[in-house]
Structure 1
Amino acid sequence: MATPRYLTAQKISLLVLVRLYCNSALPSSSTIPILSFILSHTVSPTSPSARSRRTFGSASSDHDTTFSVDVFEDVLQGHASNMPGRTLLDLFLKHMWEMSSFDALHDLIDNLGELLVVPSPTDVQVDVPLDRIHLSKTSPLGAFVRRARLEFTRLQFDDAMKLWATFVKYRASTAQWTKRLAGIASIGVDRVAAEMGLRPGDDLYEIAYGHLEDQGQEGGALSTDDLDRILDFQLDRLQRFGDRVPDTMKSQLSSMVRASGQVHRQAHLVQFFDAWKAGDYTSSFDNLHRYYDYAMQTREKIHYQYALLHMAILQADFGCFGEAIAAITETIATARENQDMMCLSFSLSWLNHMAKAYPKQMKNAGYMSMLGSERDVLTFLKAKARDTKMYNLLSATLLNEAKLCLSTGDSVPRAFEHMYQSSHLNIKENISNYGNQMLLQSTLYSRLGIPHMANVHCELLLDSYSSSCPVDERIRAIGRQAFIMSQSGRYDEAIAALESIDTNVHKSLKYHQYLVLCLGVIKFKRAIRRSDWSTCTHLLSTLKPQSATDPSSTPLDPELSFLLHESHIDYLVSRGSYSEAFKAISSLARSLKEDNADILQRVNVLLMKGDLFRKVGKPEHGFGIALRAASVSYKAKLMPSLWAAVGLLANLLNSLGECASARRLLEGVIPQALEGSDNMLIGILYSHLGDSYMGLADPNQGAKAASSPSSSPGTARSTAANVAKAELYIDRARECYKKSGYVAGECEQLMKKAIIAKLRGDEKLAEEWAQNHNRVWEEGMRGFED
């Protein structure tokens, strides 16, 4: 038997249930659940146009097209019928088994036509119940009934007989469900055969029904329509969530497509997305061409601009930016020609995203902005989205406006306003754009120095919206949580969180590279804190060394690219390679300025440069840089950067002998920095504060501060108090460094303790602190060797 076009045993059973509904055999309380069940298995989840375009998928749910007869039991058994003592399941099975011959199947299909004809008031039909429900031909149920009758009339006799045989096999297991069926089911599979005296073993009976036991699948054959719906569901999952087809499902789909004996263009699109996510450029390219070649053969020319759009995204994902720009330019021209505003708007939105994420590569490929500045592009997209009621695009554009406010250092309340507008739109129009919103809110709270709130929003995404968010957004939320953990020194927990991600995610090349890069950056930072230089060298050569040394070569994720540059500079400074570090900082700063990069990244580069001047003994050069970084951070509300800039200013003031001013600065920001939970930053601030108090303990500094002779009793008491406070803050800095795993910093504080003890004349205590210094260093070295 060839694969049926539409009718299967499941659809015959649904037709029986439709007839029960139209004959008013259902109580009013059961109407909505039964209709929902019928429609969920008969109406396609997406419209034909949406199914054909396959662009930026629409919401759908899982619809089982090969459900067993047990599903009817689950739906119907809990509802009472209009007959006392009978459930809807009893009524349904009664009608199923009353269809006891191939002729009865014909009668069912023929009688369904009466449900589509509304009788006129002048007609008198005695046999028709007065309360019968008649279906409109354009209603979902009416369309289902009309197509079922049409497809049945198209069947050849042999195919119709095999459809009847599959239905007999499908309902066979229900004969023992209730004793009330005993009288009906005892007739057998065919009443005509029973009247003729035919039994199993007779030649004629075996010709008609002898093959029923050989059918492996209870539900019968899968129709072409069912297979198209399964492929559509897979495409929707691939597009909305970005995951790959599981291996078991892939083998099942392959066997289904082969068994159908027909060409399904959706199968090529499924293979395209799967190969794309796997990083197989050649296969994805070929399958995309196959899909749209079949589409053009059917003269569905509306596919052309979407083919180009997919081609542009594919080329850009594999780093072919020149080909991507050519494809997207042709997409925009074709969409304008066909007046397809949806495709045009999405194309412009994607092009704006690429120009922002990869400015250098796009510029090298010859891209010139079509609509002016980024703010002009977002204004245009927002206006078009409102005009065409493309709320999904409007929500994404509002979030992009909020991102632009953050990246340019604009008003934070304005960014919140755009995010809340997007959130309201998501709720009002039922748009599944919560993942982007949660990630952006997490970013905003991180910049405000509230990592707890940033972590809460990542947890909210993973716990409450995980089922409706793409894999990419879930991975980014886990990655952000891992970096928040690493800030407080919990490197092992951060690495464990990244390694606990489902191994199926690694089947996608893009996600695998992202996770490997996240793990590498965290391990690289941990190795720098531990002074494990051999591990640093190995990781640096593994994590795309050209990305760390050449800012023009950007990996797949721009944010991780900057983190890798930053870690590489930290490594050079920690090793004492100040000349190489200065070159790397200058190159990175020049690249960020050309690309008009995020204000946070540019401020961090200023901080690295100012700190480098401090380390090489030129505090005058670093003072102006640190002051500018603090000013920009304050205006843009980049609180962690502001605290780091103030700490750098205080350290430079200490170097210049202005310890009192440095102390006032540090005491003003340390309470806020404590809320940020960045142990490394807090340890640095405490260390600088301890240096300030030691500077104030200097007799010359004390004389300046008190305007009195250094030998006065008040000055002596003040010196002792300052030394005591210095020891207090040095101990706090040592604790923070220990939590963050910074071995060199912890040893530095122990050496300060030894120097203070020696200045007091306590040689024995100084020796103990020196021994503690050696012990901590040796333990730290043994720790990473193990």
Structure 2
Amino acid sequence: MANVQLLLSEDLSPHKLALLFLVGLYCSGVIDFEEIRKVLGTVIKLLDNEPLRNKDGHLVVVPQLHDLLDLIDSPKTSAKLESVLWKVNSVESLESSVTAMQAFLCQPNLVTAKQSPQEMTCVHQLLPSSFLGLFVQKIVTTCSLLHFDESCLLYNSFVEYRGDKGIHIESEPSKEDVASSDLELFSILSDQLTLVQEPPSKILPVPKLDMEILLEHQISLLETSGTPMPDLLREIMTLMTSPASNTCLIQNADFNNLPSYSYLRYLEALRSSDYHTAFQALHQYFDYMVSNNSKYFYHFALISRASLHQHFGEDEKALNAIEEAISVARENKDNATLTYILSWLFNFMRNKPDLWYTQTLYHNNNESHLLDFLVTKSQTVSLPLYAMSYHFDTLHVMNNGEPLSRVLQSLLRGMYISIHDHLPSSFIKSSELGATVWSRAGNTHLAMVYSAISQGIESKLADEVAVRTRKALFLYQQGEVDNAYQLLEQLRKQTMFDRALFQPVQIRGLILLTKINLYRGRHVLAERIMQILSNTEIPEIELKLELVYLNAEVQMTLQNYSEALLYLNENLIHLERTKTQMNLHMVTRLNFLKARIFIESGAPSRAFSLTIHQLQKSKQLGMMSLVAEGAILLASILNRMESYKDAYDVLGATMATIHMVQNQEFTAMAYYEYAYTCLMTLEQDSKAGGREVGRRLLNLFLRFLNNSIDGFRKSLNLVMLQKSFQLELKMAKLKSLVELEEHAEVSLEKLRIRLREEVNYGFVHA
């Protein structure tokens, strides 16, 4: 920003003067009656430090007159205000116009009112103690205390604030007004002034109080919605912190200490993964704060430092900082801060269960003891912390195998508390947790209701990302795989500026892309994406376990069965050792995958007892989504062991549960196994059951297979579509059905062509 001069003040600016004159218009009764409420509402909002935004919704850093006029949105009032502003044509005129405003007070007691150059009538008088009266007294008093050079600076800034609309007032003299003998002299002097004058400096008024409020607002925006700092604000702050900048002061303004700007720089650097800048800015911030000998800021400094180390994967340094914060809080007997710090610690360590073996502060305890303390103590600290403690408790009891009634008890307590909390983030977290609980319980409809509750609530960007990620999961489960991936792609673009939000979205998008590739036969491409994911640092335990599952699934698809089983066994042993969060739910899913590998490798009998055991546990825990998955897997095992009647009975007993879960993949697989059962029963002994039984089984086969094909087609699972049409071809040949055989062969040929294209996808064209 070359050729810019900053006008630093405590709370005085051209914008405040314009508001003062607008209040004067109201007091003098020249504003139309029908517009008074609207104009006063605008004035009060601005004086109450509500951020000013332009027509495009962007934050206005340094307001100009056109911004105020746009906000007033009244041609009549705007014209009257401009008329008053453009009558101010000198420093003296500005001083007298401002001082005259005191005449609108009932009891002017700070400055002796001077007679205004223009005759002013007073229709609405202001009490000095009223909101508008205090504002008028403050501005009038402040302006009366300015030195002459300060008044000149303020006037020049005021002229720039008005803009160019009133230039016609100061137009060149006409020939009629100037004697002909003076025209030549005027022309010569004008030309000389044009030659020697330097380009004028642009004056930017920077009131300290307004700027600090603006910075705090920007911090809130960055923390909640991720809105980056406006370029003009960044440039102003850079000038203010530069010793070579062109600045001037009025009101003895002191801008040496701007901790909010340092904290804002810290947040921006954190989101752009700039470690050194973030570390430096954070220390600058707390150098300012700790200088006030505030114990609270020392705690906050340690927690922020721990968060910084956590963000960049420095777990040991994060633990050291948080343990120091705990010691300080205990030393000062600060129970509220201690509870907050322990909440941070629990949230940090639940994603890194191995750290329980490296930290020393709670070496003899585990997450259960810490959680009990949090639930007990947080009640007296704050509602958000109290609700968060029950959120933690809900996850803990659910993941460690407590009955569903116990899980719902903690969930409802957390939701009840969050409803009475003023922060929307707390309620959104309760709703999302409710969606998770009911999804695992198999009631997908209720899970979607809980997720929908939190949509449309104005909240942090992190909460919005969580809600929309959940929506993507539901779309995937319903078979809308491409729509789910597109939604994650939108989120990825929206969070690119924030590493903490971007990485989980990016990973989930790659996980879904890997599944899409497996569906469509692009096994080599799926393996390559998996290699990228395996070398990525994963912040969340849930995502880590999802990658374990996906990696083993990819290896199974590539027929690397021994490698997949070894990998799964290593991770299952590790999960059992650490008793990690997501324990029982993920352990069950990984064991079901292990059973699938046994089936695919031609050893279904080895999967039988494993599946039965996991199925029984899932039913006891009330995790009906796992019951549905396990039942389909058990039917598949029984079919491969030629126990077709048992497979048919298992599917018949659990089909209602499978439909309730509303997972398109599960439903399609269940119908596939149903069709397989009917086919193999007919093939095994087509004569034993007689003609009527054969016809009934054929009709059932066609109905089940049709449902299966519809499901796989919706999710574009080409691999399973191919297997379904192979079943159709086999039945057609078994029953000598010519038309059915032709349909199956045509469909298989189309699929073979499509699969060849899919296999070459991403490798043929550079």
2:728–2:744 contact (8 Å) kept in structure 1:
yes
Q: Deviations over 1:486-528 (max 9, x none)?
A: 3444443333333334746313233333333122211211222
TM-score by length of 1: 0.78
Per the alignment, in what secondary structure is the counterpart of residue 127 of structure 2? Answer: coil
1:41–1:63 contact (8 Å) kept in structure 2:
no
> Which residue of structure 1 lines up, in the alignment, with residue 628 of structure 2?
643
Aligned pair 1:442/2:467, yes or no? Answer: no
Q: Deviations over 1:246-289 (max 9, x none)?
A: 66764565356555755433222222111110111122111111
Q: 1:289 aligns with which of 270, 283, 287?
A: 283
Q: Deviations over 1:58-115 (max 9, x none)?
A: xxx9974532324554566759xxxxxxx76677567656766534544566677788
Residue 641 of structure 1: how far off its partner (Å) = 1.5
* Correspondence 1:285-364 to 2 at 5 A: 285-297=279-291, 302-337=296-331, 343-360=337-354, 362-363=355-356
In structure 2, the CA distance between the partners of 1:244 and 1:367, relative to structure 1 (3 Å rule), is farther
Q: Deviations over 1:27-62 (max 9, x none)?
A: 99877655543343334579xxxxxxxxxxxxxx99
Q: 1:225 aligns with which of 203, 206, 209?
A: 209
1:346–1:393 contact (8 Å) kept in structure 2:
yes
2:284 and 2:703 mapped to 1: Cα distance? Answer: 72
> Which residue of structure 2 lines up, in the alignment, with residue 528 of structure 1?
518
* Correspondence 1:489-568 to 2 at 5 A: 489-501=479-491, 503=493, 505-545=495-535, 555-568=538-551
1:483–1:522 contact (8 Å) kept in structure 2:
no
* Correspondence 1:166-245 to 2 at 5 A: 166-171=157-162, 221-245=205-229
2:740 and 2:85 mapped to 1: Cα distance? Answer: 95
1:680 and 1:174 mapped to 2: Cα distance? Answer: 66
1:116–1:142 contact (8 Å) kept in structure 2:
yes
> Which residue of structure 2 lines up, in the alignment, with residue 393 of structure 1?
385
Percent same amino acid among aligned pairs?
Answer: 19
Residue 689 of structure 1: how far off its partner (Å) = 1.8
Residue 543 of structure 1: how far off its partner (Å) = 1.5
| Aligned partner letter, 2:700 | K
Q: 1:578 aligns with which of 539, 547, 561?
A: 561
1:461–1:477 contact (8 Å) kept in structure 2:
yes
Q: Deviations over 1:651-698 (max 9, x none)?
A: 333445543332222123224424544332223212222333345447
2:638–2:646 contact (8 Å) kept in structure 1:
yes
> Which residue of structure 1 lines up, in the alignment, with residue 54 of structure 2?
none
TM-score by length of 2: 0.79
Q: 1:158 aligns with which of 137, 149, 158?
A: 149
Aligned pair 1:4/2:15, yes or no? Answer: no
More deviation, 676-685/28-37: 28-37
| Aligned partner letter, 1:446 | S
| Aligned partner letter, 2:154 | L
| Aligned partner letter, 1:642 | V
1:652 and 1:308 mapped to 2: Cα distance? Answer: 55
Per the alignment, in what secondary structure is the counterpart of residue 4 of structure 1? Answer: strand
> Which residue of structure 1 lines up, in the alignment, with residue 263 of structure 2?
269
> Which residue of structure 2 lines up, in the alignment, with residue 603 of structure 1?
588
Q: Deviations over 1:693-743 (max 9, x none)?
A: 34544777x9xxxxxxx76xx645324433443354244334433333333
> Which residue of structure 2 lines up, in the alignment, with residue 667 of structure 1?
652
Per the alignment, in what secondary structure is the counterpart of residue 66 of structure 1? Answer: coil
2:588 and 2:385 mapped to 1: Cα distance? Answer: 32
2:717 and 2:61 mapped to 1: Cα distance? Answer: 59
The CA RMSD measured in Å over matched residues stands at: 4.6
| Aligned partner letter, 1:659 | Y
> Which residue of structure 2 lines up, in the alignment, with residue 83 of structure 1?
none
Q: 2:423 aligns with which of 422, 431, 441?
A: 431
> Which residue of structure 2 lines up, in the alignment, with residue 84 of structure 1?
none
Can you give the 5+ residue segments of structure 1 that lack an aligned partner in the other structure?
47-60, 80-86, 121-126, 177-181, 189-197, 548-553, 703-709
In structure 2, the CA distance between the partners of 1:173 and 1:342, relative to structure 1 (3 Å rule), is farther
Q: Deviations over 1:278-326 (max 9, x none)?
A: 1111221111112222334465564222111111011011111111011
Per the alignment, in what secondary structure is the counterpart of residue 544 of structure 2? Answer: helix
In structure 2, the CA distance between the partners of 1:251 and 1:129, relative to structure 1 (3 Å rule), is closer
| Aligned partner letter, 1:746 | L
Q: Deviations over 1:399-423 (max 9, x none)?
A: 3344345434545566566556655
* Correspondence 1:97-108 to 2 at 5 A: 102-103=91-92, 105-107=94-96
Per the alignment, in what secondary structure is the counterpart of residue 67 of structure 1? Answer: coil
2:77 and 2:747 mapped to 1: Cα distance? Answer: 82
1:119 and 1:329 mapped to 2: Cα distance? Answer: 58
Aligned pair 1:14/2:19, yes or no? Answer: yes
| Aligned partner letter, 2:359 | G
2:350–2:580 contact (8 Å) kept in structure 1:
no
In structure 2, the CA distance between the partners of 1:767 and 1:240, relative to structure 1 (3 Å rule), is closer
> Which residue of structure 2 lines up, in the alignment, with residue 478 of structure 1?
468
1:109 and 1:303 mapped to 2: Cα distance? Answer: 42
Q: 2:62 aligns with which of 54, 60, 66?
A: 66
1:4–1:222 contact (8 Å) kept in structure 2:
yes
| Aligned partner letter, 2:15 | Q
Per the alignment, in what secondary structure is the counterpart of residue 221 of structure 1? Answer: strand
In structure 2, the CA distance between the partners of 1:187 and 1:398, relative to structure 1 (3 Å rule), is farther
1:602 and 1:719 mapped to 2: Cα distance? Answer: 42
In structure 2, the CA distance between the partners of 1:93 and 1:436, relative to structure 1 (3 Å rule), is same
More deviation, 596-605/69-78: 69-78
1:243–1:471 contact (8 Å) kept in structure 2:
no
> Which residue of structure 2 lines up, in the alignment, with residue 179 of structure 1?
none
In structure 2, the CA distance between the partners of 1:579 and 1:159, relative to structure 1 (3 Å rule), is same
Per the alignment, in what secondary structure is the counterpart of residue 616 of structure 2? Answer: helix
| Aligned partner letter, 1:732 | N
> Which residue of structure 1 lines up, in the alignment, with residue 665 of structure 2?
680
| Aligned partner letter, 1:612 | I
2:752 and 2:651 mapped to 1: Cα distance? Answer: 28
Per the alignment, in what secondary structure is the counterpart of residue 495 of structure 2? Answer: helix
1:243–1:277 contact (8 Å) kept in structure 2:
no
> Which residue of structure 1 lines up, in the alignment, with residue 693 of structure 2?
718
1:774 and 1:75 mapped to 2: Cα distance? Answer: 66
In structure 2, the CA distance between the partners of 1:90 and 1:411, relative to structure 1 (3 Å rule), is farther
More deviation, 16-25/672-681: 16-25
Aligned pair 1:37/2:27, yes or no? Answer: no
2:378 and 2:165 mapped to 1: Cα distance? Answer: 53
In structure 2, the CA distance between the partners of 1:204 and 1:591, relative to structure 1 (3 Å rule), is farther
> Which residue of structure 1 lines up, in the alignment, with residue 176 of structure 2?
none
In structure 2, the CA distance between the partners of 1:145 and 1:730, relative to structure 1 (3 Å rule), is same
Can you give the 5+ residue segments of structure 2 that lack an aligned partner in the other structure?
52-56, 110-119, 173-181, 248-254, 762-766
Per the alignment, in what secondary structure is the counterpart of residue 205 of structure 2? Answer: coil
In structure 2, the CA distance between the partners of 1:167 and 1:252, relative to structure 1 (3 Å rule), is closer
> Which residue of structure 2 lines up, in the alignment, with residue 739 of structure 1?
714
> Which residue of structure 1 lines up, in the alignment, with residue 177 of structure 2?
none
Residue 571 of structure 1: how far off its partner (Å) = 1.5
Q: How many equivalent residue pairs? A: 721
In structure 2, the CA distance between the partners of 1:201 and 1:621, relative to structure 1 (3 Å rule), is farther
1:42 and 1:763 mapped to 2: Cα distance? Answer: 84
Per the alignment, in what secondary structure is the counterpart of residue 592 of structure 1? Answer: helix
In structure 2, the CA distance between the partners of 1:567 and 1:246, relative to structure 1 (3 Å rule), is farther
2:224–2:460 contact (8 Å) kept in structure 1:
yes
